[in-house]
Amino acid sequence: MIYRLTPNDVLQFQLLRPKPLVAGDVYAKDRTRILKLRREVRKIFSPADKLGDLPFVEEMENFTERLLDKPLVALLGPSDAGKSSLINALTGLNVLEEKWTPTTSATVHLRHINDKPEWMDEHPVAIFKAESAEQSWNVKNVNQAAYCQKHLLHLGSFDLLYKYCNRHQNRTYEEVDSAIIYTDSDLLLACDFVDLPGFGTENETDTIKSQRTKSLADVVLFLTPALGFLNRHEDMLLLKEIIRTIPAVDTKEAPLLSSLFVLATQARTAKTEEAADEILATRSDALLNLLSEELIESQFGLTKREFGSKLKKKVFQLRAG
């Protein structure tokens, strides 16, 4: 027994979490303007099809709904990298299960409770099947009741996440593709999150789900444990693909690679912060070596050395629990 601690105390020990991020309702003014526009459109074309313009009204409704979309932040990485833990910490919530073994088996979207569509009534969680073997359920259509009802599997409480979106005694529900959660967190006023299954596991379906959804993301947080940082071939290839397809925007408001963050999690397992930094620098160089001079020049207009300097500034270590 450790002094005054039982074995059970040790097993249940949890590191302190950082405080959740507070962003505020940064889109409040934009939302007010857009909703006012929608009201004016309804007035002009009321009754809706008086002038035979019902399709136009529906198109305007769909267009303004997309204008209300917040940035989508996707967490990608191998199983057990701590993606669910990081979302829980950033949002101050505890809705995603965390364990030292891979748990997430579905694509899980998180949005603010104020954004919940009417068709969900009082229920905070919905579980969906994929559109087809090749196409996942599309979160962009979440406000379209007919589309969602067509692919809906379950609607109810947070208990559905535990039952259908996590692995339990090696049981998974293969028909489950995605879930969406509506809950109250200040950070969700500013952005939406998506927690993706770990890729490169023995379950090929997890990898497919991650690859399908990453293309929808506006911001990518790529997580991998510090001690094995980018050691796996699958990690390197996925990160290379993300960099290859990232928008080559470079402005004062959005500097180059501003939508990418590479996070070395569990960095506390390294002996020192300096030791973790050395691992990150070495493996970042290895990643850079996978990118050709031609690719970097054609996509970003930079030399390999210039791009490498910017890339290393996007690599961080997380030492918190």
Position 17 in a domain: no
Which residues are bridge partners to 41 per DSSP? none
Determine the angle formed by the axes of helices 54-67 and 28-44, rounding to 10 degrees.
180
Find the domain containing 46 and state its range.
23-68
Position 286 in a domain: no
Q: Which of 183, 221, 184, 256 is nearest to 73 (CA)?
A: 221
Q: Answer for the pair 248, 301: CB distance below 8 angstroms, yes or no.
A: yes
Position 45 in a domain: yes
Position 59 in a domain: yes
Q: What is the number of domains present in the chain?
A: 1
> Is residue 2 scored above 80 in pLDDT?
no
CA–CA distance from 37 to each of 42, 64, 115, 222, 223 (Å)?
9, 8, 18, 38, 40
> Is residue 184 scored above 70 in pLDDT?
yes
CA 180 to chain CA centroid, Å, is: 12
Position 143 in a domain: no
What's the pTM value of the predicted model, to 2 decimals? 0.82
Position 291 in a domain: no
How many angstroms separate the CA atoms of 314 and 49, rounded?
Answer: 52
Average model confidence (pLDDT) for the chain? 81
How many angstroms separate the CA atoms of 89 and 44, rounded?
Answer: 46
How many angstroms separate the CA atoms of 149 and 136, rounded?
Answer: 15
Residue 183 token pair: 């809950």
Per-residue confidence band for 112, with pLDDT thresholds at 50, 70 and 90: very high
> Is residue 192 scored above 90 in pLDDT?
yes
Position 44 in a domain: yes
**Least trusted range by pLDDT, from 46-55, 115-124, 158-167:** 46-55
> Is residue 101 scored above 50 in pLDDT?
no
Position 63 in a domain: yes
How many angstroms separate the CA atoms of 162 and 289, rounded?
Answer: 41
Q: What is the pLDDT of residue 212?
A: 65
> Is residue 1 scored above 60 in pLDDT?
no
Q: Tens of pLDDT along 27-85? A: 888 888 888 887 887 777 665 555 455 666 677 777 777 777 899 999 988 877 888 88
If one compares 42 and 125, the residue with the highest pLDDT of the two is 125
Residue 215 token pair: 């293309």
Q: What is the pLDDT of residue 97?
A: 65
